[in-house]
Structure formats: C-alpha cells, structure tokens
Amino acid sequence: MDHALTAEILSTLEGAGFALYGICRATETSHRAKFTQWLEQVGCGEMTYLAEHIQQRMDPCEFVPTARSIICVADRYTDGAPEQIHGGNVDRNISGAIVSPRGRVARYARGRDYHSVIRDRLEPIADDLRRRFPGNRFRVCVDTAPILEREHAQRAGLGRIGKHTLLIGEKSVGSWIVLGEIVTSLDLAPSNPVAGDPCGTCTRCIDACPTQAIEPWKLHAQRCISYLTIEHRSAPAEWFHNRTDDWLFGCDACVEACPHSQPRESATRVQPNPAYQASHSDFDLADVLSWSEQSRASMKLSKALRRAKLSMWKRNALLIVAGTNAATWSDQLVNALKQLASDEGGDVWLREKSAELLRRCSGA
C-alpha cells in the first residue's frame, strides 16, 4: 500500500479544484440484498439500465478486473441560496400585463454538463498515472458507469447518505454535489469514512417531496419528479398532474429542504465550481410550448438539458401549467395551447392535454 503516492494523488485532486476527494477499497457492495429488493419491489421505471450489468454494480472488480482502489471526487455546483418559486405565482411586467409562468431547472443542470467538467479534470490525472505505472488499470467514471457511486464516495469519506438517498457531503456542502471516480488497480491507502447517521429524526426531505417519492433511505423512482421530467419518455401517470410545482427539468425539493444543504458561513470555505454558473435557470412556459426543434437548438442547451427531447419539455411545461390558475394565463400562453391542441400530426398526449386546459380556460 503506497501511502506516499496516495498523499500525492489527494494533493493533485485538491489542486484540480474538487470540493471533496478521498479513496476507498474496491470491494463488493454491502447493500446487494437491499439493491435487489429495491429493483424487485420499487422498480426503476424506464431507467432499465439500472437493471443491467448487476454484477458489475455490485462488485467493482467485475467492472475493472484487478481493481484495488477507487479514487472518489465531488464537485460543488451551487451554494444553495434560496430562490423564488415561479410556477404558482402571477407575474406582471412593468406595464402591468400578465407574464407567463416559468418553470425551473434543477441546479445541477443550469451550467456546463457536469460529466464533461469532471471528466476533463480526471482524465489527465489518469493519463499521468498510466504513464508512470504501466501495466496498471485506470478507468474514469462520471455517473454513467455501472458502479454504486454514492456508496463508494461514502466509504471514501466524502460524506454520508441521507434519507433522501443522496450523499450529504462533508465541509457543510450538503447534497449540492456531483460525483466522479477513477477505478484503478493501484493499491492506495483508503481514506477514513465518516461514521454516524446524518439525519436523526429529521424528515424534512420526505415532507418536502411534492409526490411522496421518498421513504427513509428509499426512493420510489417512478414517483420522483426528476425521474418524470428527465428519464420518463412516455405520458405521465394521471396522479402526477398538478403535483410537479414549478419543476420543468429535474427537481431540488428534497435538497432544498435538507438542513445540511442550507447556505451557511462554514460552507463558504468550499465555493461552487465556476463551470456550473447558470446559463439557464428557468424558462417561460409559453416559450417552451411554442418551441420547434430549430428554436430549441438555438437556445444552445447543455448536454444535460438536451437529455429531454422536445415533446418531453412541452409535456413538463403542461404539467406545470395545469397547476396554475387559468385566469392568470397570458395571451401568449393561451395561443401556445391552441397551437398544440390543433396539431393533428403532433404528440397525442400534448394535443389532448392542451385541449383539456383550454376548456378550463374557457369555462367549458
């Protein structure tokens, strides 16, 4: 076990600007039974990839043969300062005219795509190690690989998993973090994991979830707004209507409610990475409902935001509109609904939902 090399790697990670970093052993998960039970009882909806490569998810050595260590990192993408909720509010411009409601984007997706931001700093580190230690293996992972990132990060001392199933980072950064790893065959000294339950009797994340998707340390994926707005490709279940608040892409409700994620003086020692500075925080819903493929492309959305196809953006916008007062809808919004309702060649659900909303607007 190379302690000197371990210290050097950790220093390099700090120099690369990661908010949190550590190393754990590449050992099999201790939650195999719980993960299997979750798949069987709760399910992953249309995220079928979670049910694939199960053995690799359970054991990093199946993912990277000869793996002995996992280098874990986290980026902080926001300070978590409170922000105004738009969806149910009636906004007016300076002349007093009604302005269309807006839909929020989850904060992780407002700036550059975190997959690229993290990978662009981990790959050079891995390349340097490959040159120095030929014959060893180094595989960079950022979210998409079949490994249990949060469990490894917890074992590497980056934080503890909360009742909302997210990692609550150390140094008061809360859950405003995204993760990355280098799985390697090097024998590195593991960091000390953080012990203890971070939640105690607190249930604020559970209480804050608009769709009751959270049980303590268990997420019902098919009830989660983030799942619905990003991963679910088809029509939403009926009970989702009027329950998405103002979330257009993703959802931060549980993180916003978590005491560990509140902005505090101690957290200012770890600033958010500037790469995640917001380009798109929210969108005018009338604009979204009027988007064409060309107009959406002109928005130059990040790779993360492009994960939702055009019909999904419009579906998500309609779900927010359904929860607002029809008397407050702007002419632009009503016209967008009329256009969708009359589009015989378009998505059936969008057409029918738009027509339903127009009937409410007319009092029919």
Residue 239 has what pLDDT? 74
CA distance 33 to 53: 16
| SS3 at position 116 | helix
Residue 87 has what pLDDT? 47
Active-site entry in 2, 59, 91, 143:
143
Could you report the average pLDDT of every consecutive run of 10 residues in the chain (364 residues)? 90 96 91 66 58 70 92 96 61 47 95 96 97 96 88 96 96 95 97 94 96 92 91 83 88 96 83 93 95 92 92 95 89 94 91 93 65
143 is catalytic: yes
CA distance 129 to 192: 23
Residue 51 has what pLDDT? 55
Whether 26 contacts 61, CB under 8 Å: yes
pTM for the whole structure:
0.89
Residue 48 has what pLDDT? 57
Residue 92 has what pLDDT? 38
Whether 243 contacts 210, CB under 8 Å: yes
Residue 195 has what pLDDT? 87
Residue 255 has what pLDDT? 97
